[in-house]
Chains A and B, each alone.
Chain A
Amino acid sequence: NAGVTQTPKFRVLKTGQSMTLLCAQDMNHEYMYWYRQDPGMGLRLIHYSVGEGTTAKGEVPDGYNVSRLKKQNFLLGLESAAPSQTSVYFCASSYREGEKLFFGSGTQLSVL
């Protein structure tokens, strides 16, 4: 089992460019999450999904879109990147609500 896999691990974008971060889990988990981690801010929830075909907004959803077309994949999109989106992005999954999260290793994104 690979667990939760995030790609890419590093990315540099110019302001206004778009990109998609991919998260894949092989544990048959229903719930998937995207967090961002900034210095001094802890982790903040961007979007989450409670099952295939569902998505919902978290604490800081503006500027991001997500899709969960397949149960094992959760995609995070930035349509027009801004410097404020420079951060480390973590994907996580859980079997059901209230249970422990399994995290990916993160994507370090810099927007210039």
Chain B
Amino acid sequence: SQQGEEDPQALSIQEGENATMNCSYKTSINNLQWYRQNSGRGLVHLILIRSNEREKHSGRLRVTLDTSKKSSSLLITASRAADTASYFCATDEGSNYKLTFGKGTLLTVNP
């Protein structure tokens, strides 16, 4: 069963604009992670935010976590064509070892 669900399913923006993707989940978590997948490639880890953190930054990425709403957002600032990819959120399920992935947001950045 999917734990995280990304929204929107697809997003198309112009280079230089900001891109925001959202993730909602159902049960309590220890941490939430975001991954990127370029077409035909494996997933690459972007950022991990723990349940006691509210915001985290990494370069042009900003992730927020609202545990009361069971939601997270990933903001990519000043987007580039190379940011075109699918973005997935993944959550653990309490003390479980398993990461459960959402279905992803397909981001297209037009030059």
Q: Residues of A at under 8 Å CB distance from B?
A: 4, 31, 33, 35, 40-45, 48, 50, 56, 58-59, 90, 92, 97-106
Residues on the A chain within 8 Å of B45, using CB: 100-102
Q: Can you list 21 residue pairs at the A/B interface with Cβ under 8 Å?
A: A4-B42, A31-B97, A33-B98, A33-B99, A40-B103, A41-B103, A42-B103, A42-B104, A45-B100, A48-B98, A59-B1, A90-B43, A92-B43, A98-B30, A98-B31, A99-B48, A101-B43, A101-B90, A101-B99, A105-B42, A106-B40
Given contacts A42-B88, A42-B104, A103-B42, A48 and B97 within 8 Å (CB-CB): yes
Tally of contact residues, B, Cβ under 8 A: 24
Contact A43 B31 (CB under 8 A): no
- B48 CB, min distance to chain A CBs, angstroms: 6
- A105 CB, min distance to chain B CBs, angstroms: 5
Task: Name the residue on B nearest A59 (C-beta).
Answer: B1
Does B82 reach chain A (CB closer than 8 Å)? no
Task: Name the residue on A nearest B33 (C-beta).
Answer: A100
Task: Name the residue on A nearest B46 (C-beta).
Answer: A100
How would you classify the secondary structure of chain B's contact residues: helix, strand, loop or mixed?
strand
CB-CB contacts of B16-42 with A at 8 A, as 1s and 0s?
Answer: 000000000000001101010000111
Assembly CA distance A105 to B101 (angstroms): 17
Q: Residues of B at under 8 Å CB distance from A?
A: 1-2, 30-31, 33, 35, 40-45, 48, 88, 90, 92, 97-104
Assembly CA distance A90 to B103 (angstroms): 15
Residues on the A chain within 8 Å of B30, using CB: 98
Contact A42 B102 (CB under 8 A): yes
The 5 closest A-B pairs by CB, nearest first: A103-B42, A42-B103, A100-B45, A43-B101, A103-B43
Assembly CA distance A5 to B88 (angstroms): 21
Assembly CA distance A97 to B93 (angstroms): 11
**Given pairs A42-B88, A103-B42, 19 additional interface contacts (CB within 8 A):** A4-B42, A31-B97, A33-B99, A42-B101, A43-B43, A43-B88, A45-B98, A45-B99, A48-B98, A50-B97, A90-B43, A97-B92, A98-B30, A100-B45, A100-B48, A101-B90, A101-B99, A102-B45, A105-B41
